[in-house]
Structure 1
Amino acid sequence: MSYLSPPEFVTKMIDAGEAKVFMSNRDTLIRAFMAGAILALSAAFAVTITVETGQPLVGALLFPVGFCMLYLLGFDLLTGVFTLTPLALLDRRTGVTPRSILRNWGLVFVGNLAGAVLVALMMAVILTYGFSMEPNEVGQRLGTIGEGRTVGYADHGAAGMLTLFIRGVLCNWMVSTGVVAALMSTSVSGKVIAMWMPILLFFYMGFEHSVVNMFLFPSGLMLGGNFSLMDYLVWNEIPTVVGNLVGGLTFVGLTLYATHARTGAGRARPATTRPAEAPAE
């Protein structure tokens, strides 16, 4: 698997964050667009498998294929840059500023959204034969997902918003672990195996991923879901983005940086005393 030690892959995390901050607007948008589109196709695939087999675990087992593809191709998700780019600022890399990080986040958000919405439109056309008939079973499932994860939260008020936020936190704890896992190995097989596990966990547990939701909810709106664009923004996307930021940065980026890049001073070892020699007889 060609495993890298934690100090080695944390250095790669910082380097990756710095590189993303200084990437051109053009490249940032293209890579984000493709990441959003590939992840959306993977989500459509997982939902289709779940509907056709009746086994959510099967869909969750297969969903990580899209995540692995997009990271092996060097594309960027919002959840990943939330975790990596601030580390370059903490490490005082020259030229990295809060403004440059926010610029990167904004461009990646726009790119991810454009890619995911395009795939949502394509899937809506496929599932309704160009909007000439009612959506099939997969299309109906996409509509109900959007309802349950917007108005479903709204029905519980503040408790629903808290639940949504925490699901966003837990999601990017796992997703960013997958991003870091790709840096732990120098082989393709090692990267894929390491990435697959946390992504499977987040998807099966129903945690909230801002980019996956950029596909699921526009799809639901196009396919007759009983919720509005405002429901989606207020009762899913915005709190999910905030939760993803907190989860990835707090539980992955900062913890790894603090203990492997800025390791605390070790405790002094206690002095050892040699046992007294036995008297000669």
Structure 2
Amino acid sequence: MDYVKPKDAIHDISLAGATKAALPSSHIFLKAMLAGAFLGYATTLALTASTQTGMDIVGAAIFPAGFVMVLLLNLELVTGSFAMLPIAVLRKKTTIKPVLRNFAWAFFGNLTGSIFYAVLFAIFITKLGHVQDSLLIDKIIAVAEGKTFAYQAIGTDGMVVVFVKALLCNWMVTLGAVMAFTSRSTIGKIAAMWLPIFIFFAQGFEHAVVNMFVIPVAMMIGADISFSDWWLWNQIPVTIGNFISGFLFTGLVLHIITKEKASLSIVNDKKRA
């Protein structure tokens, strides 16, 4: 059978998380760079589709392609690791220290890859500074300003909103990473992980790695966003919110319910014996 039951999927995730935690730092960094760049590609494709069709839902349907590439190539996406690696710790397959090392290098690698692609894309979209105005440029700037100035304008309430949107985002992103383990076929993995990623992107939630690309590239092509605007009103609260939801809502909860199922199965087997 192609379908993998949740308790088996979580067991496989714990082993995969332990493997990720044990990777050399250089490998984590390089794999994370690729992941950041590929999500940048997916973001510009989604925004291009939204601009061309006038329908953001079309871009959201396309965006998961980048996530699929990242997971099928077993790259390092820090937001997905926020659930997978804690599961490995909870199942005693690894310890906290290598997990934190993975988080740090994956975050830095995702950021580096995202900015690298942002530089290349900025050169392309502006024709090396000869074009300052187009529908796509306007769209990117509007999205980035909505991820910073829109929250800043309402002060503390804005900080609450961006944090909650980060929680909602990574609940789905980490679920997408988990869903990839519920099938043994490539097409099954693609279909399973596509669904949660489409759900998060279509509703405009806040994803730390996507924002590592879209805000810097907007700054490069004309958005009046400062470094502090980017980090204080988006990157820092979004990263924290992504971690909390990934760890608590996905990693911890799925660990608990699948462990309980495993325990009940053992009890039932003993009763039948």
Shorter-chain TM-score: what band? over 0.9
* Larger displacement relative to structure 2 (68-77 or 178-187): 68-77
TM-score (norm 1): 0.91
TM-score normalised by L of structure 2: 0.94
In structure 2, distance between residues paired with 1:265 and 1:204 = 38
**Which residue in the other structure is 1:3 paired with?**
3
Q: Which residue identity is paired with 1:213?
A: N
Determine whether 1:203 maps to 2:201: yes
Other-structure match for 1:241: 239
Q: How many Å separate the matches in 2 of 1:45 and 1:158? A: 33
Q: What whole-Å deviation, never above 9, does each CA across 1:44-95 have from its counterpart, x for those lacking one?
A: 00001101110101111111111111111111111111111112222222xx
Alignment-derived partner of residue 120 in structure 2: 122
1:139 counterpart residue number: 137
* Structure 1 counterpart of 2:137, one-letter code: G
Which residue is equivalent to 1:250? Answer: 248
Structure 1 counterpart of 2:244, which letter? V
8 Å Cα contact 1:140/1:223 also seen in 2:
no
Q: Deviations over 1:164-193 (max 9, x none)?
A: 001001100000110001000000110011
Aligned length: 267
Which residue identity is paired with 1:54? G
Hey, what's the Cα distance between the residues in 1 that align with 2:146 and 2:167? 19
User: Which structure has the highest helix share of the two?
Assistant: 2
What is the distance in 2 between the residues matched to 1:27 and 1:100?
Answer: 14
The answer to whether the 8 A contact 1:168-1:241 is kept is yes
Q: Give the conservation status (yes or no) of the 8 Å contact 2:7–2:261.
A: no
Conserved? CA contact 2:172–2:199, under 8 Å: yes
1:248-274 CA distances to partner (integer Å, 9 max, x unpaired)? 1111111110010354865x99xxxxx
Counterpart of 1:225 in structure 2 is: 223
Question: Displacement of 1:97 after TM fit?
Answer: 2.7
Q: Residues 165-176 of structure 1 correspond to what in structure 2 (within 5 A)?
A: 165-176=163-174
Alignment partner, residue 15 of structure 2? 15
Q: Distance in 2 between matches of 1:265 and 1:25?
A: 36
**Amino acid across the alignment from 1:103:** R
Instruction: Determine what percentage of the aligned residue pairs are the same residue.
Output: 36
Cα distance change, pair 126–115 in 1 and its aligned pair in 2 (3 A): same
1:193 aligns with 2:191: yes
Q: Hey, what's the Cα distance between the residues in 1 that align with 2:91 and 2:63? A: 34
Structure 1 residue runs of 4+, over 3 Å off?
262-266
In structure 2, how many angstroms separate the alpha carbons of the residues matched to 1:140 and 1:122?
Answer: 18
CA contact 1:181–1:191 (8 Å) conserved in 2: yes
Separation in 1, partners of 2:8, 2:262: 17
Say whether 1:64 aligns with 2:88: no
Gapped runs of 5+ residues in structure 2?
269-273
Q: How many angstroms apart in 2 are the aligned matches of 1:201 and 1:91?
A: 29
* CA displacement, residues 105-133 of structure 1 (integer Å, 9 cap, x when unaligned): 00000110111111111111111101123
Aligned residues: CA RMSD: 1.7
**Map of 1:27 onto structure 2:** 27
Distance in 1 between the 2:199 and 2:70 partners? 18
> Are the equivalent residues in 2 in contact too, given 1:10–1:261 (CA < 8 A)?
no
Q: Distance in 2 between matches of 1:38 and 1:108?
A: 14
Matches within 5 A, 1:158-169: 158-169=156-167
User: Partners of 1:39 and 1:198 in 2: how far apart?
Assistant: 15
Which of 1 and 2 has greater Rg? 1
SS in 2 for 1:142: helix
Partner of 1:279: none
Q: Which residue number in structure 1 is paired with residue 271 of structure 2? A: none
